[in-house]
Amino acid sequence: MADETVRVWLVERTYSDDEQNLIILTYATPDGEQYFRKERALTSYTDTRGTTAAVDADPENLGAVDDERLRRRYAAEAERMASVHDPDDEI
């Protein structure tokens, strides 16, 4: 079904090395096997866009996590986030 999405949980938040004022949000599936990446430019100090604990992503926008250590780390963090937050909680 084309309308299906996959719930992914926030597992990592990093700053881009290449560009100033760019935050990279990485969300992953609970098994850690797939990830979804969002880039967010910080436009000002008063930028108040929230980052939620989870998002629903189009399966076509998910990448595969090939590294086993990273997969385990993403799975552990996704599980932790899901156990302590509702999907719409702002982080």
* Every domain of the chain and the residues it spans: 6-84
Q: Does residue 2 surpass a pLDDT of 80?
A: no
Residues 27-69: tens digit of each pLDDT: 999 999 999 999 887 765 555 668 999 999 999 999 999 999 9
pLDDT of residue 47: 55
pTM comes to 0.86
- Tokens 């609970």 map to which residue? 30
Q: Write b or e for each residue in 28-66: b if 16 or more Cβ atoms lie within 10 A of its Cβ, otherwise e.
A: bbbebebbbebeeeeeeeeeeeeebbbbebeeeebeebe
